[in-house]
Structure 1
């Protein structure tokens, strides 16, 4: 249970918390400070701190500029952290048009696309392709779920990158994939597509 503090102190601590982790929601912050969501919103407005979606977009825009293999707009979700050749994190919130009508479960293609685009974003090359994908859907996803994907380059052998991607909703893993990506050089892209070998 949070200890009540003065408004000025709460706002100072709020700014500090959001600087530490810009992805806290108003609900999470309200729980931390033991106040209502409306109080947090008013504090944010007074401090000139945008809502979480805007904060995520601001961070993502910086990371999109780092991506080399695909356009930033092709990344599924918001790219909130990226260290080329090493690791990355994206957040994706599926919408109503991405579900099966009967079950309201998000179609797997959207979850896979988040994982694939994050894996591609990690590669420090002009272009890359998925050579091999070993994937597992572990739990159904619904609209309103926030998917947090974390990807890591496990090893690199020549122009092949071995990348693991795990996607969670809260603490529950809903998807995992092991990808082998093949990095392509600029001159390779100019060759005819029938000369490109992606597999083994």
Structure 2
């Protein structure tokens, strides 16, 4: 029996469809998904003028920052992938060797917390806000090179106070969680 591969045209259409549904797929993941070489994926992307993952993520992040009021792009830790102001958001942080303790190679908690606080501040629909309370828990050590995916959700709002939950995952395993109470500075009452 002959294993018939899709035509180049069909393969490229499938590539476009896959990236439209998930723009964060790597070339390696696409190659595995379509059972072809990484080089073929790269050639198809170049021919279709589809940027590499880094550029796709950057474009999505830049478009999402147009919706954010409380924190500027250069202040944000990670890359803002998706945001629905006042509701939910997702960000990604690629950890690196410059974020770790030298002796253990474990990422310092300050970087993980900074990603969580950044997404919590970005999600609330306020021009200016501060963290009033943070209840956090680190679930397991994070090593350099691991990709952190933060998911935030506004649980409720009472006046100028926003209650936000943030969970950070590595490959669907929770590594951090935090409950934040953020205070909007837009209305100075109650501070």
TM-score normalised to the size of structure 2? 0.94
Question: Equivalents in 2 of 1:130, 1:164: separation in Å?
Answer: 13
Structure 1 counterpart of 2:158? 157
Report the CA distance shift for 1:39/1:90 in structure 2 as closer, same or farther (over 3 A): same
By how many angstroms is 1:96 displaced?
1.4
By how many angstroms is 1:65 displaced?
1.7
By how many angstroms is 1:4 displaced?
2.6
Report the CA distance shift for 1:19/1:109 in structure 2 as closer, same or farther (over 3 A): same
Aligned counterparts, 1:145-184, within 5 A = 145-184=146-185
- Secondary structure, aligned partner of 2:107: coil
Question: Equivalents in 1 of 2:40, 2:190: separation in Å?
Answer: 58
Structure 1 counterpart of 2:87? 86
- After superposition, the C-alpha distances for 1:62-105 in whole angstroms (9 at most, x for unaligned) are 11121111112111111010111111000100121110001111
Aligned counterparts, 1:8-157, within 5 A = 8-157=9-158
Q: Which runs of 5+ in 2 are unaligned?
A: none
By how many angstroms is 1:39 displaced?
1.2
Q: Which moved more, 1:68-77 or 1:147-156?
A: 68-77
Q: What number of residue pairs does the alignment pair up?
A: 189
Question: Equivalents in 2 of 1:136, 1:185: separation in Å?
Answer: 29
Structure 1 counterpart of 2:7? 6
By how many angstroms is 1:21 displaced?
1.0
- Secondary structure, aligned partner of 2:42: helix
The answer to whether the Cα contact below 8 Å between 1:3 and 1:33 also exists between their aligned partners in 2 is no
By how many angstroms is 1:3 displaced?
7.2
